Structure 1
Amino acid sequence: MYHSRQEDRISALPDDLLVRILLSIPTEEAVSTMILSKRWRFIWTMLPVLTYQERKESVWLFLNKSMEFHKAPVLQILSIRLGPHCPTDADVGKWVENAVNRGVRELFFTLQWSADPTRLPKSLNTCKTLLHLRLSHKILVDFPTSSCLPSLERLQLYYVVYKDEASLVALLSSCPVLELLYVMRNEDDNVAKFSVKVPSLRVLLYFNAMSPDENDVVDPGSLEKFELKDYVGRKEEKELVEYILGTSKCLRTVTISLRSNLKDKETIMETLKAIFILRFDVQRVIGDGLLVVRMVENLAVGPNNRH
């Protein structure tokens, strides 16, 4: 009897409070509350945040049904993470299409199925509401020159495959207010020349399993923070660091992490330190395989200028 009264008290709360309660539990559990009573039947459909993580083979079916019945006018966040259990014939693009039609603000999509990389729907190319986009693994990045993402501020591309270099350029060019870019690459991403020319960019994290190529192009004009991961001391890597230092006008912090299995970390670290000392009066924070350089001045200078 006591539990029944407690349930009735909760059920009597306004819809917006019930939605806030459901936001504190996993999406799958929130959806299951529909069986509690008629009062709860459609509360979950108003959730502004949906998160799906593959735990079993049936998750894609659950995702299909829950996205079909979801009715919130605005979808703040859609996060989907699917692994090898996801059927290769699943129409994953329609989930993204649904989110775009709902004015999604943040979209996180990780696909690690056994099929080939999949294209996302064309509607994503011109999504006006999107603020944050993260694509991971078996996603084919295919953006035409007509793409326009006017609100996108944060972009994360983790081990995706690009249709070609033109698609990468088109994607970045479509983001006039992009401030943060995280890139992690594999050797089979179909891009030889990785070009980053985004005037509004303030933070760049770049990880290339192959090491930066001499053809990679980064325009660091407005860059305030630069991170380079898995550094091994190759010529191309040093040239990239030197180029960033020599051309950025707003750089405040540079973080370089060495590959964990390097045998000559101390030598490589000393070489890195020399690159910075030649150009800046800096404050250095050095750990095991990690170099963090904070510029004393919020101003980049040339190799012959010292403060």
Structure 2
Amino acid sequence: MEDRLSSLPDDLLHSILRGVPLKHAARTSALSRRWVAHWIRALAASPVLDFTDSNFAYGQPPARAAATVDRCLRLHAEHGTPLHVFRVALVSPSVPGDGAFGRDVVGWIAAAVTRGAREVEVDLTPSQEDADPGSAANSLERLALGRLSLRAVPLPAAGLAGLRSLSLSHADVTDEALRGVLANCGALESLSLRCCSLLTTVSVASERLRVLELLGCRSVRELRVAAPALESFALYGNVILSVTDWFDSVAVDFGAAPALRDVYLSQMDCCGSLDRNIDYYYPFVYHVPQARILTLCSVGLVVPIFSLDSDDDNHFDHFPYAHLNGDDSAYIDMPNLQELQLLMGSLEEEMSTQDPRFPERVYYFFNYTSLPVLERLFIRLASNPANGSSSEPDEDDDDAEIRFGPHEIVLGQLTFIKVVNFRGTWRERRLVAYLLKRAPILEQLVLVTVRGEGAPGDEQPENIKEWVSELQKASCEARITVCRPSEDDSPNHAHTRFFHEEYCCT
């Protein structure tokens, strides 16, 4: 059979080979010896070496996969083409002594950085023991390591002075190793720590850091941040609030961050209930009052009532305690907040010793938190609440009883409200009625029903729309939209990732 492909011009063949995965390009060597030169030239001409294709090392022993990466790096270097990006994702054997790429990774990172790479990404599954980015040179700008052990990293880690982005996911990194790495990252602008189970103390001091993520690190008991240029902060962990029992407390020291605008705060159990047997809480949200965009879970809606007992200050002296059941609530000012999203559990919480209509934390938050420029409010109810009672109150609901302060709140700049997973239970209705009476320039209310049918409290959109149209509204211009999830085309909050739904951190 005539080999018509081989008769194509060399430039066209090189263009074709650059567009196919490396593994398939290398297999063209079986066609003829001429193709060997073609795929090697295509490899050498590319500034990107990407070994993340799932089929790259399929069926190969670890030693052969490592040898292939070594060979490609060597061939690329021999042809002298600048290397900008180096990525590799391999399955590392869990059997001790079977070759876990540890020494290979060190060499790959060193080779890529020596060649001037600006972006290096290595992901090994499961984690391995010996990787060491310490030989990196200052050209490195982005480093992402997943399921990688850093216990063997010599400290202080060298060659990271130019690093701008660092991501550690499921990494075997200790407090000491993290401090050693960060100490050499003077240019760092983005730091992401995800599901790093060995971390107990996270201390970040950086003049340039703009983005900080601390997600799923369950063992963290101390968080200290000094980053005056910080713009975005995401926390999914156990430090959304602090408890005064010093055995269990999380110490938080969040320095001034005047540029901070984007904050995501979610407790690991997200929408769980507070332990009423513990007296003192201090919500993390009050460490970041300057935020303009905020996502907050219902655990973080506790309004602090500051303790006046100076004897309580013996445990920690860097933040005041908040008493959940005290007399004098603090009035918190969030002067910049324009867009708020609340991740709520069931609104059907009831205290056995209180009236069934005991006000939920969301009302406390609105009554004791000043929100002078709030424009957009998003409330995401639990899609499958554990306590989704739809029972009606014993008497007609009257939100006049929802008053906790000496003032009547007015959400004077609020123009848009969206409630997702709305079932139409009486507590959900009471919340909507409460907000409609306090938003004089509201332009649109969107109620998105829960997915599926037959859940307790579910009602058809038509019935919900009829009910809401009869409510008293402070704004005569407010448009009401009731729709199913598939029909919703209204705006969404800036944060559309929900870590409590997508993370399964162990």
TM-score by length of 1: 0.74
Asked if the contact 1:139/1:161 (under 8 Å) is kept, the reply is: yes
Alpha-carbon separation, structure 2, partners of 1:118 and 1:281: 46
- For 1:219, the equivalent position in structure 2 comes to 226
- For 1:301, the equivalent position in structure 2 comes to none
Query: Does the C-alpha gap of structure 1 residues 182 and 201 become closer, same or farther in structure 2, counting only changes over 3 Å?
Result: same
Structure 1 residue 197: Cα displacement: 0.9
Query: Does the C-alpha gap of structure 1 residues 173 and 286 become closer, same or farther in structure 2, counting only changes over 3 Å?
Result: same
Query: Does the C-alpha gap of structure 1 residues 60 and 75 become closer, same or farther in structure 2, counting only changes over 3 Å?
Result: farther
Structure 1 residue 52: Cα displacement: 2.5
Alpha-carbon separation, structure 2, partners of 1:296 and 1:219: 27
Alpha-carbon separation, structure 1, partners of 2:336 and 2:58: 51
- For 1:286, the equivalent position in structure 2 comes to 341
Query: Does the C-alpha gap of structure 1 residues 267 and 62 become closer, same or farther in structure 2, counting only changes over 3 Å?
Result: closer
Structure 1 residue 69: Cα displacement: 4.2
Alpha-carbon separation, structure 2, partners of 1:257 and 1:23: 43
Asked if the contact 2:134/2:159 (under 8 Å) is kept, the reply is: no
- For 1:209, the equivalent position in structure 2 comes to 217
Q: Residue type matched to 1:12 in 2? A: D
1:129 aligns with 2:139: yes
- For 2:263, the equivalent position in structure 1 comes to 254
SS at 1:99 equivalent: helix
Asked if the contact 2:196/2:216 (under 8 Å) is kept, the reply is: yes
Q: Residue type matched to 1:206 in 2? A: L
Alpha-carbon separation, structure 1, partners of 2:219 and 2:124: 24
Asked if the contact 1:183/1:206 (under 8 Å) is kept, the reply is: yes
- For 2:24, the equivalent position in structure 1 comes to 29
Asked if the contact 2:193/2:217 (under 8 Å) is kept, the reply is: no
Identity across the alignment (%): 23
Per-residue deviation, residues 154-209 of structure 1 (Å, max 9, x unmatched) = 110112223651x322311212211111112433x2x4322111111001111243
Alpha-carbon separation, structure 1, partners of 2:168 and 2:108: 19
1:268 aligns with 2:280: no
Q: Residue type matched to 1:278 in 2? A: D
- For 1:179, the equivalent position in structure 2 comes to 189
- For 1:100, the equivalent position in structure 2 comes to 113
Asked if the contact 1:140/1:160 (under 8 Å) is kept, the reply is: yes
- For 1:152, the equivalent position in structure 2 comes to 163
C-alpha RMSD of the superposition = 3.8
SS at 1:149 equivalent: coil
Query: Does the C-alpha gap of structure 1 residues 256 and 267 become closer, same or farther in structure 2, counting only changes over 3 Å?
Result: closer
Q: Residue type matched to 2:140 in 1? A: L
Higher relative contact order (CA 8 A, sep 6+): 1
Per-residue deviation, residues 24-64 of structure 1 (Å, max 9, x unmatched) = 33232233234444141522441332233453343551341
Between Structure 1 and Structure 2, the one with more helix by share is 1
Q: Residue type matched to 1:139 in 2? A: S
Q: 1:120 aligns with which of 119, 129, 132?
A: 132
Per-residue deviation, residues 54-110 of structure 1 (Å, max 9, x unmatched) = 533435513413422442233222222222447335432332233233222211112
Alpha-carbon separation, structure 2, partners of 1:49 and 1:31: 16
SS at 1:176 equivalent: coil
1:43 aligns with 2:41: yes
Q: How does 1:52-131 map to 2 (within 5 A)?
A: 52-53=51-52, 55-58=58-61, 60-70=63-73, 71-72=75-76, 73=80, 74-85=82-93, 87-88=98-99, 90=101, 91-92=103-104, 93-113=106-126, 117-120=129-132, 122-124=134-136, 127-131=137-141
Structure whose alpha-carbon radius of gyration is higher: 2
Range that drifts further, 277-286 or 178-187? 277-286
In structure 2, the gaps of 5 or more residues are: 244-248, 275-296, 305-328, 346-371, 375-506
